[in-house]
Chain A
Amino acid sequence: MTISRREMIQQTAAAAAALPLVRALPPLAPVPPKFFTAAEFALVDEMSDMIIPTDQQSAGARAAGCATYIDARLAEAFEKDEPQHWRAGIKAVEALSQEMHGKPFMASTPDQRLALLTRIAVAESDPKTDAEKFFRQIKGATIRAYYTSKIGIHDDQQYKGNVIQPGDYAGYDAT
């Protein structure tokens, strides 16, 4: 990913974040996804941003390009089970959305999406259904992508390390 593309995602996301979150945001993939369909990408992008949203401290998973990163890894995955698990998981989420709200995930209201995500997150420690397993999968991938991103490391965590300490080292003496 080039810097300019990353910045573009950030700027787009910052603009989006400024809007009240009452309607579905358009998919923000700047280029066609490599593995996901456009619809799948929109769902992954939205759900990752619900898992790690923008708050007062920092922008969220969408701005950090988490879905784009996940898509790129799945597109080149050596083990083909993993991408297929994602695809099956998304199908399970869509089926649950139909069951709960009678429409696709991205066509439902923010409240309805939140209701769905809450439902599949309940069994996080011991997921049973495909949709519940998908929550674990997308949450893990979002965590990995977000906290290794520029936004995650610098804006959110405000990480102080990976710097040269020319003088005294930071910390406390063993006295």
Chain B
Amino acid sequence: MSELETASSLDLVHRAREHDAVAFSALLQPRLAGLLRTATAVLGNDGDARDALQAALTNAWLHVGALRATDRFDAWLLRIVVNECRHALRRRGRARVREISIGVEEEPWTTPLVSSDGLADSVVGRDTFDRAFERLGADQRAILVLRYHDEMAIAEIAAVLAVPEGTVKSRLFAARSSLERALEKENR
């Protein structure tokens, strides 16, 4: 077993901070597929997601030396990926991204989601969802993906987005509401 295989993630982070490209690669390799899936869920296609991931990896390599909270490497890395997705959407064209504003209720995250009418069960349903999701802005897409695709806890999302947990909850509710309104528009 090689030295790299036995090294812990934290060891690798420390070595990556010292400009060790081999350690950086060993650290990133098992995470790449997951990061690409996350970026693809946000952006909707493999090409844009790859570009965002490429930019994120480059930025991570350039700035890992400045990472202080080495135990939060994953949150830091995911934040960079989310930021690159945001930039990608911005570049794709503001005209195609429409934020849907919605009021935020008190403790809205406790509201249970009522079952939909089998949206995920049909091609048409998935297409409708896709078009509705494309109506959302980058931040709303990201928070929905982190929560419902990556299945992250509120505290973990808060660490990734560098915001308080309460903010995550309210943004999550707003994003869900925006998505539901977008679905209604698509179904008209």
| Pair from one complex | no
